[in-house]
């Protein structure tokens, strides 16, 4: 063990909607080697996904002594960090992912919710290192979240804490993939940016003309990453969409502050690449919505420091710590 944590190299795997990203992570949180594969179809069996994970692990372990593998998975992970109980963007239901991958790679494996893994990485190595009460919100295709309190991930009684994207903020609002209506994910995620841009373009809104020109008239190409890029270039429609998403994000954070009272919110995921285009309206909405405003401190709201690799860095660090406990 080092002063800052367990020693040894570990592999972190982040399973996203479009790619399986993996890396070898050292005890300082640095990624020293990387591998990537396309995520199998959302309708593919878990065995296919397990085989893809085994491929990247086998590639990365060549010539290295690896102490463990951590997998960050989007969805509900049970309290034992062994099964993915439900993944809204993959065809996983009560899937024994840990044991399946461990059998394939012959190494100790843990499974963690991807946002929990990212929150852990930001607390250990990133924007939240000095904070005893951290809440992370990840904005990508959907919305995830993680809570770290005094150096412990708060997973809840059944392992499912942190699903902030499925707080209902608009009763009877838009239908969510989880089955409910009005979830925050339907108002403040990367999918929202693309959906709203496509709806505005289809309605012939003149403000979307530069966006439509950007994709040569192909409305289907108006997706979250492109809207983020356009907003950073100053496109007025894209900037307006970020103001709307930031407004809803601020409302969600105010609700979380009422329940959890953190000292710091760390905002990650691809949508956070826009920086203050997102965070400035979020902070404004947060301050306007927070219960008890004027008579309580405001939590800070900052951009994540580790970027898209936070999930795999956190998963690897958690796997390393678990391996050290089992020695």
Residue 292 vs residues 113, 169, 253: alpha-carbon distances, Å:
32, 19, 14
User: Which of 264, 151, 242 shows the shortest CA–CA distance to 197?
Assistant: 242
CB 57 within 8 A of CB 319: no
- How many other C-beta atoms are found inside a 10 Å radius of the C-beta of residue 107? 17
- How many other C-beta atoms are found inside a 10 Å radius of the C-beta of residue 146? 32
Q: Which residues, including other chains, have CB under 8 Å from residue 269's CB and lie 6 or more apart?
A: 137, 138, 139, 140, 143, 144, 190, 304
- CATH class of the domain defined by 9-121+308-326: alpha beta
Instruction: Give this prediction's pTM.
Output: 0.92
Instruction: Say if domain 129-304 classifies as CATH 3.40.1710.10.
Output: no
Phi, psi at 311, each rounded to 5°: -60, -45
Query: C-alpha angle 230/256/159, rounded to 5°?
Result: 100
Q: What is the pLDDT of residue 305?
A: 97
Q: What is the pLDDT of residue 6?
A: 81
Q: What is the pLDDT of residue 4?
A: 58
In the chain, where the domains are located: 9-121+308-326, 129-304
- How many other C-beta atoms are found inside a 10 Å radius of the C-beta of residue 314? 35
State how far the Cα of 266 lies from the Cα of 178, in Å rounded to an integer: 24
265 class by beta-carbon count within 10 Å (0-12 exposed, 13-18 middle, 19+ buried):
buried
Task: Please report, in tens digits, the pLDDT of each residue of the chain (327 residues total).
Answer: 344 578 799 999 998 777 899 999 999 999 999 999 988 766 667 788 889 999 999 999 999 999 999 999 888 898 888 888 887 667 778 889 999 999 999 999 999 999 999 999 999 999 999 899 999 999 988 899 999 999 999 999 988 899 999 999 999 999 998 889 999 999 999 999 999 999 999 999 999 999 999 999 999 999 999 999 999 999 999 999 999 999 999 999 999 999 999 999 999 999 999 999 999 999 999 999 999 998 999 999 999 999 999 999 999 999 999 998 865
Q: Which residues, including other chains, have CB under 8 Å from residue 99's CB and lie 6 or more apart?
A: 82, 109
Kindly give the residue spans of alpha helices, DSSP state H, lying in the chain. 46-61, 97-105, 114-125, 190-202, 209-214, 224-232, 236-260, 276-289, 310-326
Q: Which residues, including other chains, have CB under 8 Å from residue 27's CB and lie 6 or more apart?
A: 2, 4, 5, 6, 7, 8, 320
């Amino acid at each position: 063990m080092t002063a800052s944590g367990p020693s040894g190299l570990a592999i972190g795997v982040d399973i996203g909607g479009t790619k399986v990203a993996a890396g070898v992570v050292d005890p300082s949180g640095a990624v020293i080697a990387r591998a990537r594969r396309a995520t199998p179809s959302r309708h593919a069996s878990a065995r296919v996904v397990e085989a893809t994970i085994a491929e990247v692990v086998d590639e990365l372990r060549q010539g290295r002594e690896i102490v463990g593998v951590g997998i960050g998975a989007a969805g509900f992970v049970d309290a034992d960090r062994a099964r993915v109980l439900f993944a809204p963007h993959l065809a996983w239901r009560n899937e024994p992912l840990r044991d399946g991958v461990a059998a394939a790679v012959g190494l100790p494996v843990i499974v963690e919710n991807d946002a929990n893994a990212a929150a852990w990485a930001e607390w250990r190595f990133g924007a939240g290192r000095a904070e005893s009460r951290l809440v992370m919100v990840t904005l990508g295709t959907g919305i995830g979240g993680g809570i770290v309190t005094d150096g412990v991930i708060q997973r809840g009684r059944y392992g499912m804490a942190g699903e902030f994207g499925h707080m209902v903020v608009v009763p009877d609002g838009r239908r969510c993939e989880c089955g409910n209506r009005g979830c925050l994910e339907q108002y403040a995620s990367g999918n929202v940016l693309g959906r709203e841009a496509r709806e505005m373009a289809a309605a012939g809104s003149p403000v979307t003309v530069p966006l439509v020109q950007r994709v040569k008239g192909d409305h289907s190409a108006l997706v979250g990453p492109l809207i983020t890029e356009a907003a950073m270039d100053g496109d007025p429609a894209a900037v307006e969409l970020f103001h709307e998403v930031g407004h809803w994000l601020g409302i969600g954070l105010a609700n979380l502050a009422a329940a959890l009272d953190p000292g710091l919110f760390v905002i990650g995921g691809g949508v956070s690449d826009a920086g203050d285009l997102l965070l400035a309206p979020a902070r404004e909405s947060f301050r306007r919505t927070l219960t008890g405003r004027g008579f309580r401190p405001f939590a800070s709201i900052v951009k994540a420091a580790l970027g898209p690799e936070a999930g795999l860095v956190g998963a690897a660090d958690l796997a390393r710590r678990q391996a050290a406990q089992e020695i």
